């Protein structure tokens, strides 16, 4: 039997990826705001909508983490791996993630948040 329950692993992953997504989307919003796009509003709206979804999910994740006494600690990063400590109650488990995998998964998740209903409009109606 694993010492860290499967449900908790899902939340540990969220604790890794959601802050990364927020940082990237905030930076992208700043780039859009200073860019030479003629119509910045639609792009900013898509990024803001995604940010709101990610922030809400991170808030739920943090509530879960407090209730279940789980903590994530980033231990270090080199050119290839990032190491995290997953702490669940009295148990601690170290996991290493390939940096390229972190980048690719982050990109996948951003695409998911951009595709959520409410991000695309046509003639004032939401396309679902």
**Per-chain mean pLDDT for the chain:** 89
Q: How far is CA 51 from CA 41, 45, 78, 84, in A?
A: 15, 10, 28, 24
**pLDDT attached to residue 100:** 97
Asked whether residue 90 carries a pLDDT value surpassing 80, the answer given is yes
Mean pLDDT within 84-98: 94
**pLDDT attached to residue 108:** 97
Tokens of 20: 């990364």
Task: Report the number of secondary-structure helices (H) and strands (E) in the chain.
Answer: 3, 5
Q: Which residues pair with 91 in a beta bridge?
A: 88
pLDDT digits (tens, 9 = 90+) for 15-65: 999 999 999 999 999 999 999 988 999 999 999 999 999 999 999 999 999
Nearest to 49 by CA among 119, 105, 122: 119
**pLDDT attached to residue 37:** 84
DSSP 8-state secondary structure symbol assigned to residue 115: T
Residue 55: count other Cβ atoms within 10 Å of its Cβ.
14
The Cα 71–Cα 12 span in angstroms is: 8
């Amino acid at each position: 039997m694993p010492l860290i329950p499967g449900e908790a692993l899902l939340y540990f992953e969220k604790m890794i990826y959601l802050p990364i997504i927020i940082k990237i989307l905030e930076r992208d919003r700043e780039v859009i705001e200073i860019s030479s796009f003629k119509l910045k509003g639609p792009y900013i709206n898509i990024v803001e909508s995604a940010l709101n979804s990610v922030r809400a999910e991170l808030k739920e994740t943090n509530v879960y983490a407090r209730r279940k006494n789980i903590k994530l600690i980033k231990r270090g990063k080199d050119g290839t791996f990032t190491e995290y400590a997953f702490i669940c109650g009295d148990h601690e488990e170290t996991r290493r993630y390939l940096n390229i995998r972190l980048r690719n998964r982050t990109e996948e998740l951003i695409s998911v948040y951009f595709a959520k209903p409410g991000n695309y409009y046509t003639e004032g109606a939401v396309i679902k």
